[in-house]
Structure 1
Amino acid sequence: MTPGTKYPSFKSVWQRRQTVGCGKPVSLAISRLPKSSRSGVKHRRMSKPLAKAVTNRGSLTSDTSSAVPGSTDACTSLTLEELTFIIISRFNSLIHQVNHTQTIQSIKPAFKSLSQKERFMNFSLQRYGKRLRQFGLGLVAIAASLSHAADPYPSKTITIVNPWAAGGPSDAIIRPIAQQLSTRLGQSVIVENKAGATGTIGAAAVAKATPDGHTLFFAHVNPIAISPSLPQKLSYDPIKDFAPITLIASGPAVLVVRSDFPAKNLSEFIAYARANPGKISYGSVGLGSNTHLAGSLLGHMAKADMLHVPYKGSATIQTDILGGSLTTGFVTLSGAQGLIQDGRMRALAVSTAKRSSVLPDVPAVAELLPGFEISGWYGLMAPANTPPDVIRRLNAEVTAILRTPEMSARLRDGGMESSPTTSEAFGEYIKAELGRWVNAIKVANIKE
């Protein structure tokens, strides 16, 4: 077959056979196959002239124009071009449905669906024999591979699902990354906020998404490492239903109060809380969230009775603290830093084991209550079974973004440390985090 040759359609092959006087479907042009390719092919149900032709002829014909109408030659001849085109045409509609992970064995039933017209040469596995069946399946496999190779990633808009409310500190982290990722990939990258249930609504949506790399999850410690350990069952598994791409950033939460609150530091705050049991309310981004567990652990270790008030995001917690309807709360440093710097809020302590480089004058809770440590992190994940080459591409692009001076400075100013990793290292980190939160959950006594 020569490149650029126009191969015949089913219709043209059928018309040629009618022209040369072949009224009924006959066996495939096995008559033109070499004897070495016809081992085990039975001649039953063939006419005697055809059986004789099968025995005598040795190769596929390349020209049937000289065939005498009505002769055995005319009725049994099939050019190599016609044969190849027929096979490829029949499977062309199937190629785009063949997933790269499916086995070629799943294509076999398709041979049995051939119409009567397509079987005018008894185009079936039984009559073609083992060698031709393998040939046809091989063509499908090659064409399917070429089809995937011709569809580069990304081929459409990429959506990153942020499981927190719009306008919060998580948006401040992921949206600049999405903008740079769009530039690097040459494709639109949008951020979609799906808030609720401490991030598990957004996580569940991504877990069910098509694993082609066009729907990603802005992962957070809550829906990936904490919620799976809570009593309430989830619709997803953080290990089995997601493919880790990279850790993005990690950092502390900061305990804040309004600037006119009587306590000036953590020690005074604990004393005030003990003296006013049940009167201190603390907000969190949801039941079982890291900020809920931080407040619960603080109350437990300080022996202070405080009231938990769940919210959907940090922004509303800060608004209610400023408004006076909420006393305190552990919030992300990135979201509260501006309010702390302009004097509207007072930072009492950070939740990590050590002080933050962003707020070096603010002590860690562990300095007063040894053993206290609660930190938060963000990462990027995809649905399970996303192609490995897509994961590698995204890991390379996002880690490159995180290592730029601009992005590192942006995260540092928000109290977070840039933490790019390999996808494998991020997966191991998640497994370790799943075990780390067990004690904090027991202390919080979450039963539903």
Structure 2
Amino acid sequence: MQQNRREFGLLAASALITLPAFADTYPSKPVTILVPQAPGGTNDVVGRILAQKLTELAHSSFIVENRAGANGNIGTDYAARAPKDGYTLLLTISSTQAINPALYKKVAFDPVKDFEPVAPVGVVPNVLVVNPSVPAKTLEEFLKLARTTQPELQYASAGNGSLNHLLGAMLSSKSGVPLQHVPYRGVAPALTDVMGGQVPVAFASLPSCIQFIKDGKLRALGVSSAKRSPALPDVQAINEVVPGYVGELWVGLFAGRGVPKAVTARLAELVSAAVASPDLRERFKTAGVEPLTGGPSRLEQMLQEDIARWAPIVKASGAVID
């Protein structure tokens, strides 16, 4: 018995010695940043820019891995069950982490209990875009047009329960303007049909549509952020016309709950340095992403606020996915 106690004491002491040493050397091998969306989307674009900068700062590889499916649920669940060693991280968006638990009847992860917030990374508005043939040149003209159009104007989204679906529902609710939702399997086919004239209107994240706007293939009428986007300074924030209308898409880095605090603290330092770097900020600006600073507490607050904000909107929209 005495021998067993002595061995247990040695093991405990070894664990206390190993944890700080592990944190001091972290990362000592490649780190996987799991993106639960398909390549080419907002989160993927942000993830690849961030991974490159983290690799430079840490002198160790950070690699983006896409695990798409079920509006981000598949990859998020995978990240929740990954080893708690800090070498599999989750870079996710607010719609997956804050909206999906209200949207799906069952999700295999808990957005709060299963994850440790590391740091916010960036925020992007969605943009209300129309086919250039639509006669409305401003948001006010669009709302007037929508009020008088029969049948109701259709708007495309990336799918039932997606953020751009709910942004349309919120606009309809707050403005009293009827709009008919047309879901697609992703934002790319939705924008293709808007540019082709099959559907006149869409909500889309700024990084996914900014080049089409610049090329004149789409006309931007409003952004969903609280203020105008630096990438589109001449485009109104929707809440300038519809008070209280705000719905941004943030990107944040999470670790699995149980990863050593010293490791998540090191990650937060690296992300903070990355987001502060001029070259990353310039690349974000080009992509229509506004960098976000702040550590775990800010990301946790953003998550809690969005869970509270979107749950009643999901319920009012009637969107439920099995």
The match for 1:135 is 6
Q: Check whether the contact 1:160–1:215 (CA below 8 A) recurs between aligned residues.
A: yes
Q: Check whether the contact 2:49–2:283 (CA below 8 A) recurs between aligned residues.
A: no
TM-score normalised by length of structure 2: 0.90
1:29-77 C-alpha deviation (Å, 9 max, x unpaired): xxxxxxxxxxxxxxxxxxxxxxxxxxxxxxxxxxxxxxxxxxxxxxxxx
Please give the alpha-carbon distance, in whole angstroms, between the structure 1 residues aligned to 2:65 and 2:214: 30
1:89-120 C-alpha deviation (Å, 9 max, x unpaired): xxxxxxxxxxxxxxxxxxxxxxxxxxxxxxxx
Please give the alpha-carbon distance, in whole angstroms, between the structure 1 residues aligned to 2:286 and 2:20: 42
Return the structure number with greater relative CO, CA threshold 8 A, min gap 6. Answer: 2
Please give the alpha-carbon distance, in whole angstroms, between the structure 2 residues aligned to 1:169 and 1:133: 54
The match for 1:428 is 301
Q: Check whether the contact 1:258–1:346 (CA below 8 A) recurs between aligned residues.
A: yes
Please give the alpha-carbon distance, in whole angstroms, between the structure 2 residues aligned to 1:326 and 1:164: 24
Q: Check whether the contact 2:43–2:92 (CA below 8 A) recurs between aligned residues.
A: no
Within the alignment, does 1:321 sit opposite 2:182 as a pair?
A: no
Deviation, 1:398, is 1.1
How does 1:188-199 map onto structure 2 within 5 Å?
Answer: 188-199=61-72
The match for 1:297 is 170
Aligned with 2:55 (options 155, 174, 182): 182
Within the alignment, does 1:419 sit opposite 2:292 as a pair?
A: yes
1:290-323 C-alpha deviation (Å, 9 max, x unpaired): 2111111122334343332334543333222222
Aligned with 2:246 (options 358, 365, 373): 373
Deviation, 1:396, is 0.6
Deviation, 1:184, is 2.4
The match for 1:250 is 123
Deviation, 1:384, is 0.8
The structure-2 alpha-carbon separation of the partners of 1:133 and 1:355, relative to structure 1 and needing over 3 Å to count, comes to closer
The match for 1:273 is 146
Q: Check whether the contact 1:254–1:348 (CA below 8 A) recurs between aligned residues.
A: yes
Aligned with 1:384 (options 234, 238, 257): 257
Q: Check whether the contact 2:161–2:320 (CA below 8 A) recurs between aligned residues.
A: no
- Runs of at least 5 residues in structure 2 that lack an aligned partner in the other structure: none
Q: Check whether the contact 1:169–1:315 (CA below 8 A) recurs between aligned residues.
A: no
Structure 2 counterpart of 1:340, one-letter code: I
Deviation, 1:447, is 4.2
Structure 1 counterpart of 2:7, one-letter code: G
Percent pairwise identity: 37
The match for 1:230 is 103
Structure 2 counterpart of 1:412, one-letter code: K
The match for 2:92 is 219
Structure 1 counterpart of 2:12, one-letter code: A
Please give the alpha-carbon distance, in whole angstroms, between the structure 2 residues aligned to 1:312 and 1:400: 36
The structure-2 alpha-carbon separation of the partners of 1:352 and 1:149, relative to structure 1 and needing over 3 Å to count, comes to closer
Deviation, 1:288, is 2.1
How does 1:117-128 map onto structure 2 within 5 Å?
Answer: 125=1
Alignment partner of 1:160: what SS? strand
Q: Check whether the contact 1:198–1:285 (CA below 8 A) recurs between aligned residues.
A: no
The match for 2:235 is 362
Within the alignment, does 1:395 sit opposite 2:268 as a pair?
A: yes
Aligned with 1:340 (options 196, 202, 213): 213
The match for 1:164 is 37
The structure-2 alpha-carbon separation of the partners of 1:193 and 1:268, relative to structure 1 and needing over 3 Å to count, comes to same
Deviation, 1:397, is 0.7
Q: Check whether the contact 2:32–2:64 (CA below 8 A) recurs between aligned residues.
A: yes
- Runs of at least 5 residues in structure 1 that lack an aligned partner in the other structure: 1-124
Alignment partner of 1:392: what SS? helix
1:149-196 C-alpha deviation (Å, 9 max, x unpaired): 665432432211212221123222110110121222233222122223
Please give the alpha-carbon distance, in whole angstroms, between the structure 1 residues aligned to 2:311 and 2:150: 27
